[in-house]
Chain A
């Protein structure tokens, strides 16, 4: 059972948009930054969004993040087949002095 809660999977079609949710508590999301990682099949995770809504250099603006209270969301627009993979949210948790991850959401682009 992960500290942060994400839907296990979501699917959509090319060109559409999707939003992946991440729910936590006041100890983690409510009081700290949320970060999102993308893990494409067979590869290492990659930082996609940091500090709630910041994109690292090279990440297209199709990807955006937001946070409200103890929840956060990752939005992806103009979906492409090569966006298929697993997406993880993460945050620092003050109660356990540790980084915590969501269980991951498997995105399928049919």
Chain B
């Protein structure tokens, strides 16, 4: 069964750091780009970051560039998001997602077909 399980969320003060992890199972992890999508309390979905299957190509939304770093360990089927210099506006439920189409050396602009249950990040000012 294809599954994504996030961990690492928590409460932190503004300016602090957190590292999110996502454990993947049920598919050939290294063949697919992966992504993080977040949802602030009572708000809509916002794409945050993505990484190619090989881990060599990262993309970020403008508001997190220079603060967040996405990475992956294909030997452990794990996706990570290192979040530094956190701000109150980063408070959200963070979802790990899988990109539908195969993308080893690139990030295909395709749908997110698998979603985890999310991990909550709370940043207090």
B61:A47 contact, CB within 8 angstroms = no
Binary interface profile of B, 87-125, with partner A (CB < 8 Å = 1, else 0)? 000000001000010000000011111111110000000
A92-B109, A101-B44, A104-B44 known, 16 other contacts, Cβ within 8 Å: A35-B110, A35-B111, A37-B45, A37-B112, A44-B116, A45-B37, A45-B95, A47-B114, A50-B111, A56-B113, A97-B59, A98-B61, A98-B62, A99-B37, A102-B44, A103-B44
Name the contact of B44 in the complex, choosing from A2, A32, A33, A98 (C-beta under 8 A): A2
Binary interface profile of B, 72-98, with partner A (CB < 8 Å = 1, else 0)? 000000000000000000000001000
* Inter-chain CB contacts under 8 Å: number: 64
A50:B35 contact, CB within 8 angstroms = no
Summarize A's interface: helix, strand, loop or mixed.
strand
User: Once the chains are docked, how many angstroms separate the CA of A93 from the CA of B47?
Assistant: 12
User: Once the chains are docked, how many angstroms separate the CA of A37 from the CA of B35?
Assistant: 15
Q: For chain B, give the interface size range.
A: 20 to 34
A47:B59 contact, CB within 8 angstroms = no
A104:B115 contact, CB within 8 angstroms = no
Q: For chain A, give the interface size range.
A: 20 to 34
B45:A45 contact, CB within 8 angstroms = yes
Chain B residues with CB under 8 Å of A47's CB are 100, 111-115
User: Once the chains are docked, how many angstroms separate the CA of A103 from the CA of B46?
Assistant: 9
Cβ contacts A to B, 23 pairs, < 8 Å: A2-B44, A32-B109, A33-B110, A35-B110, A35-B111, A37-B112, A44-B115, A44-B116, A44-B118, A45-B37, A45-B112, A47-B111, A50-B113, A56-B113, A86-B44, A90-B45, A98-B59, A98-B62, A99-B35, A99-B37, A101-B45, A101-B46, A101-B47
